[in-house]
Every structure is written in structure tokens, then in C-alpha cells.
Amino acid sequence: MQNKLIILVLSSGLIACGSVENSRYRDTATLEKPPVLALQKSPQNGINAVIDDSVEPKHKVGGLNENVVLLDENPQKLVLKQSISEAWRTLGTALRQSDIKITDSDKAKYNYYVSYKSQGILKNILSALNEEDTKTVYLITLAPQEGETVIYVALANRTEQRSQNVDENVSRPTDDSDGLIESLYHLLRDDVKTDR
């Protein structure tokens, strides 16, 4: 009899606990709602698919292909089929992705100062023999032209050469502006990774 009484008391207690309503647990109006996603019909079978741009990763596209042109003039120059502000960002990205070191930049004038070592085999052998190899600084200038951007490369002046070299003994550096412009052309055309 005592067992029946204990079971009756426990079961009535469980029933009482289950029937208590607390409105704060039943009201879901104040809970955060999930965002509404855009539906888009896919070309296959006309099925609606959920498109959420925040989840899809941006695709890295390599090279600008026909959007960069090397003009074989004297001095050589590049034409980038982008506005000057887009070309500034693209060139900066390309330089950071390469072994060409940006030593200074001036966005107001659209100038990059870069340290570039010639890629020629003979020049590399000679620079390996010369222990006092100094960095050669070049000035890359961007200029707008009819909705596109022209990129010029020139050897920086002696003061800028001296400021980049610690020893302050700067012999007259060899000018390999054409080598740098060709490197930039191949870098922009084939290798630069941009978001699209």
C-alpha cells in the first residue's frame, strides 16, 4: 500500500510539473528570425535554388589577358583597359603578388616606387660577382588616357636611389626599364590574381 501511495504522489507531481505553462517559453515573437534568401530559377528544369552571395566564395581569376597591351614604342609602355583607380588597385595587387618590392607610393600622383633586380642571365651573373650589389629603384607612373590607363616605367633619380640604399654609395645603376615593363606585362596578363 505504501508503494502505491508513493507512486501516486510521484506521478501527480510529474503531472503537475508538466502542466505548468510559462509564457516566456511559449512566446517566440521576440526571437531572432532567419534572413529571407533570394530564390532564383536555375536554367536546369526551372527549379528554384537558394542563392546566398555571402556563402559563395569569390573566384580568384588569374591574369587580365587581353585587358593589358604592351606598346612597343621607345620607351615601352603598357595600356591597361581599366579606369585609373581600378588600374592602381590591380597594379598594386600584382606587385604585392610578385617579387617586385614596393618601396614607396603616391596615390595622389599615381606613382609607385619599386625595387627591381634585372632578370637577364648576364646581369644576374655580374651582380652575383659584385658583392656591393645595390637595389635599383624605378618609378612606375599611371596616367589616364581615353578611359584606359597607360603605365610608364623610368629609372628613379639619384636622390631616390640613394634613399633606398643604406651605404649611400650608389654607382650609376643600369637602366632596365624595358625589362621591368615586360615583367609587369607578363605579370598582369598571365599571373595576377584578382577577385571577380
Residue 124 belongs to a domain with what CATH number? 3.30.310.170
User: Can you tell me the distance from the alpha carbon of 52 to that of 39, in angstroms, rounded to the nearest whole number?
Assistant: 9
Separation in Å, CA 48 to CA 33, 35, 54? 22, 17, 18
pLDDT digits (tens, 9 = 90+) for 116-156: 887 665 555 555 555 444 578 999 999 999 999 999 999 98
Cell of 113: 616606387
Scan for cell 528544369, then name that residue: 45
Where are the extended beta strands (E) located within 101-168?
A: 101-106, 111-115, 137-145, 148-155
Percent of the chain with pLDDT over 70: 65
Whether the per-residue pLDDT at 27 is higher than 80: the answer is: no
* Whole-number Cα distances in Å, 21 to 25, 31, 43, 143: 8, 18, 50, 73
In a domain, 181, yes or no: yes
74/177 Cα distance (integer angstroms): 11
| 65: in domain | yes
* 163-179 pLDDT tens trace: 655 555 555 667 888 88
Domain that holds residue 110: 60-195
For residue 105, tell me if it sits in a domain.
yes
pLDDT per position as a tens digit, 62-85: 678 888 999 988 889 999 999 999
Number of domains present in the structure of the chain: 1
Residue 77 in any domain: the answer is yes
What is the model's pLDDT at position 158? Answer: 78
pLDDT tens digits for 147-156?
Answer: 999 999 999 8
What is this structure's pTM? 0.60
